[in-house]
């Protein structure tokens, strides 16, 4: 009981590389613990009236990152929710500081081979355009994993079914 109340005091923010399951796991986690769910990429798309790929193409990555920073600040200032971030959001110093101060950050860690098998879907992932997913993800993992590791909790087991990932997260949150 106490744990359920604890879970709802702060927003839970999922971070990690593309393909880690942040959106799918986040949606299921939110349902399980009775919090609203927000997907930062979807919010950015709604605010811009453009897809992530279109924002990158028309305005460039820096513009996307500005929008991402604003959207996350708004979501974090709102009522406690489960928030799925895009893979680059936690790399922004301002966003990361805000998440670490106000929320519970959870890194969904997975082997790059697992991630590469999952990132086939297009539209949201312009960084993958014309790239070998495994090579790109390896490069991103080298740069980003030490930063994702600053999250309050790390959940490994990216190859697990999403329901099992949710179980692990709930257990980890209860143990905090
Ligand atoms: C990005 C990840 C994407 C999306 C954008 C940039 C990144 O989100 O925000 O394409 O820099 O890793 P997902 O992690 O949900 O794929």
Pocket test for ligand 1, best of 21, 41, 96, 147 (most atoms within 8 A of CB): 41
**Residue range 63-72, pLDDT digits in tens:** 999 999 999 9
Does the predicted TM-score (pTM) go above 0.75? yes
Torsion of CA 63, 137, 98, 80, to 10 degrees: 100
From the CA of 53, give the closest atom in ligand 1.
10
Ligand 1 mean position, distance from CA 18 (Å)? 6
Mean local confidence (pLDDT), 87-96: 98
pLDDT of res. 136: 96
| Best CA proximity match to 171, nearest among 111, 115, 106, 109 | 106
**Residue range 141-163, pLDDT digits in tens:** 999 999 999 999 999 987 899 99
**Residue range 14-48, pLDDT digits in tens:** 999 999 999 999 999 999 999 999 999 999 999 99
């Amino acid at each position: 009981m106490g744990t359920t109340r604890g879970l709802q005091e702060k927003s839970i923010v999922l971070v990690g590389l593309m393909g880690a399951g942040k959106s799918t796991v986040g949606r299921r986690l939110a349902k399980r613990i009775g919090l609203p769910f927000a997907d930062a990429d979807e919010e950015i798309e709604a605010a811009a009236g453009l897809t992530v790929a279109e924002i990158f193409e028309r305005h460039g990555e820096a513009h996307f990152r500005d929008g991402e920073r604003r959207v996350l600040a708004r979501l974090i200032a709102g009522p406690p929710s489960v928030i799925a971030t895009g893979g680059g959001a936690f790399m922004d110093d301002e966003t990361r500081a805000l998440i670490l101060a106000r929320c519970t950050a959870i890194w969904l860690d997975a082997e790059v081979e697992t991630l590469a098998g999952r990132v086939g879907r297009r539209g949201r992932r312009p960084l993958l355009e014309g790239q070998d997913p495994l090579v790109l993800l390896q490069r991103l993992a080298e740069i980003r994993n030490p930063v994702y590791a600053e999250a309050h909790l790390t959940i490994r087991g990216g190859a697990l079914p999403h329901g099992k990932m949710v179980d692990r997260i709930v257990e980890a949150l209860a143990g905090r």
